[in-house]
Amino acid sequence: MEPVIVAQDIRRSFRSSKKEEGKNSTWKYLLKPEWVEHHALKGVSFSIEPGAFVGLIGANGAGKTTLLKIFSGLIPPSSGTARVLDQEPFKRSLDFRKQISLVMGQKAQLWWDLPAVDAFDLLRAIYEIPEKTYRDRLGMLAELLDVQKLLNTQIRRLSLGERMKMELIGALLHWPKVVFLDEPTIGLDVLAAQKLREFLREFNRREKATIILTSHNMDDITRLCSRVLILRSGEMLYDGSPQKLTREGEKRLRVRLQEQPTLEQLAATTQIPIERITFPKPEDADAGDEGEGTLPAAYLTVNSQTLMPTLQAILAKYTPIDLGIEEQGLENVIKRLFQEEASGITKRP
């Protein structure tokens, strides 16, 4: 099948003016500002097939939202090519806008002072949806999200989870072929997030819509997405299935040692490849893992067969202060990828 979304060497840069402290710098800032270049995307390339449910992962500032804005036509790429449904998004043709949708969890898109049903009726007119088709779709979406009793309530009087459900209905009434979701479950409680995930899975299954989802919640990614794209500092770090990241039987061994061996010494002692050992930077460490005056911990990726020999080798040569074994959940694996990439030793999976 022909891909629905194509990114070829997409780059996006922004300029911002820099202001120094002090009154005298204000005139300089106004009359002769100093510009700083920021590179949000640095040559991103991939393609997505019809009906795929893809997770887009990255830390804050990795370029996720910028990429979704390019695909939805809100901003153009600085260079490279973006194609969605075989169209150039930034041209924003009427046909293109009728086939895509963008939902941003941190930004309300419906009219707050209107009851939800009135806001949907306005969208029906904007998208020129036939009356019967509109009623059928609204009934199905409201039933799937369990909000039939809330349709006549003003948007601003709804809870955050209820508003998010209405945002999704508004975004899907015109039956888009491509849906971009930017943090749709942010701020939701566990039950509301679960309901939204169930709805998105069902909509993808029924309508074969192509969906790209960004989220910091790994439950969203593992339960919905068959493919993940990982961005770091505007570059593609990984493109593949979540299962390949969380290889069965792999564990992460955390050791804090009195002797503080180097990475090379630890690799030689344990016979673990050097690329599977990391010393996280302080800003990358788990909350509360490293404190002032605390010796740094090392993390070794091992499997079930090498776990005990690795522990025995460490205990034979070093004095442990702290030991721990972590399952290789998707969240831990992605965090490890970021740490290894920052250390310059990552081998891409």
DSSP track, 36-64: EEEEEEEEEEEEE-TT-EEEEE--TTSSH
| pLDDT value at residue 345 | 41
**DSSP labels, 262-283:** -HHHHHHHHT--GGGEE---GG
| pLDDT value at residue 335 | 65
Tell me the average confidence (pLDDT) per consecutive run of 10 residues in the chain, 349 residues long: 93 82 69 81 95 90 91 94 95 92 83 92 93 94 90 91 90 94 83 85 90 86 89 89 69 87 91 84 46 70 86 92 77 63 46
| pLDDT value at residue 348 | 41
The answer to whether 269 touches 279, Cβ cutoff 8 Å, is no
| pLDDT value at residue 176 | 94
Phi and psi torsions of 54, nearest 5°: -115, 135
**Distance (Å, whole) CA 139 – CA 230:** 36
Name the strand (E) or helix (H) holding 340.
helix 330-343
**Distance (Å, whole) CA 164 – CA 149:** 15
Residue located via tokens 């770090």: 237
| pLDDT value at residue 347 | 43
* Helix/strand/coil for 99: coil
